[in-house]
Amino acid sequence: MTQKCAVIFGATGLTGSALLNELLLSPHYLRVYAFTRSPILTEHAKLEVFEQPLDAINNETISLLPNEMDVFFCLGTTLAKAGSKDMFKKVDYYLPLKLVNMFARKADHFLIISSLGAQPDSLSFYLSVKGQLEVDLKVLDIERLTIFRPSLLVGDRKEKRFKEDFSSTLSKLVNPLFSFKVLKKYKPTDCEDLAKAMCLVATTGKGLGNARTNVISSDMIADLINS
């Protein structure tokens, strides 16, 4: 087995921290580079942390990294936390788009979290930003792109998000309905499952076709880790 290196953005969030553990445990990766604004408490021989504002990453830092890496994006915020639509778009659109451009010559696979229902013309500001990012990433000159579109993300959050907590509680009440195939994709996505699916896709190619860009839907995420 040929070992590679991985880069992860957003390793301190719910999905990102789960994904970081998956990458560190995977024999596929020789080294894992985590770029983060907040301290990472995890210690591991394979882990190297770059603690700095993500918009301060420069080409000099990137030049120190190896080639042919898998680059994972777990960046994301909420309108309430961001404080404004402009700040939300900075985190969920401009920052990942900028970083993909900067890492284009170093990476052979970008894996990024979007959302179920992402469309640039969506009436939802959140989904329109996610959709526009997908559109603009697809036209970049990069080797491979995999977009994950989870449903509502659930897990044990350190920070409380009222709307997501309410939706998560409601979804448990209607959980039996998600057994119907037509509704399966709307079943909330566990962050641990999403992290496992992202690592699995990157290390095995499972679920990917021959196209340069692949989209992994919320129902496919569950199927990948259970098959």
List active site positions.
126, 130
Secondary structure (DSSP) of the chain: ---EEEEEE-TTSHHHHHHHHHHHH-TTEEEEEEEESS------TTEEEEES-GGG--HHHHHTSPSSEEEEE-----HHHH-SHHHHHIIIIIHHHHHHHHHTTTEEEEEEE--TT--TT-SSHHHHHHHHHHHHHHTS--S-EEEEE-SSEES--SS--HHHHHHHHHHHHTGGGGGSGGGGGGSPEEHHHHHHHHHHHHHH-TT--SSSEEEEEHHHHHHHHH-
